[in-house]
């Protein structure tokens, strides 16, 4: 489930990070930096998927009580 790929950017010394659709995400000078960007974006995508699946309504843990005034 690799969502991002790191390849050479055209015929240069730079590295391209692309998403699963093949769209260019960023261009990096170093391969190590490109792999780090891809890793962080993949982790961010996983966290977002987890949040979307667990976003069912949960009642609040604490509700304030109203004070009766005389």
For the segment 15-62, what is each residue's pLDDT rounded down to a tens digit? Answer: 999 999 999 999 999 999 999 999 999 999 887 777 766 656 666 677
Q: Is residue 57 part of a domain?
A: no
pTM of the model: 0.69
Q: Is residue 48 part of a domain?
A: yes
Question: In the numeric block, which tokens belong to residue 66?
Answer: 């109203």
Q: How many domains does the structure of the chain reveal?
A: 1
Contacts of the segment 23-31: beta carbons below 8 A, 24+ positions apart? 31/6
Q: CB–CB of 45/3 below 8 Å?
A: yes
Q: CB–CB of 31/12 below 8 Å?
A: no
Q: CB–CB of 8/16 below 8 Å?
A: yes
Supply the range of the domain harboring residue 13.
5-52
Q: Is residue 29 part of a domain?
A: yes
Question: In the numeric block, which tokens belong to residue 44?
Answer: 């961010």
* pLDDT surpassing 80 at residue 64: no
């Amino acid at each position: 489930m690799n969502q991002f790929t790191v390849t050479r950017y055209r015929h240069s010394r730079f590295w391209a990070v692309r998403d699963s659709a093949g769209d260019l995400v960023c261009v990096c000078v170093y391969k190590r930096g490109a792999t780090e960007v891809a890793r962080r974006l993949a982790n961010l995508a996983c966290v977002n998927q987890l949040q979307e699946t667990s976003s069912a309504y949960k009642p609040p843990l604490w509700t304030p009580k109203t004070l009766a005034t005389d």
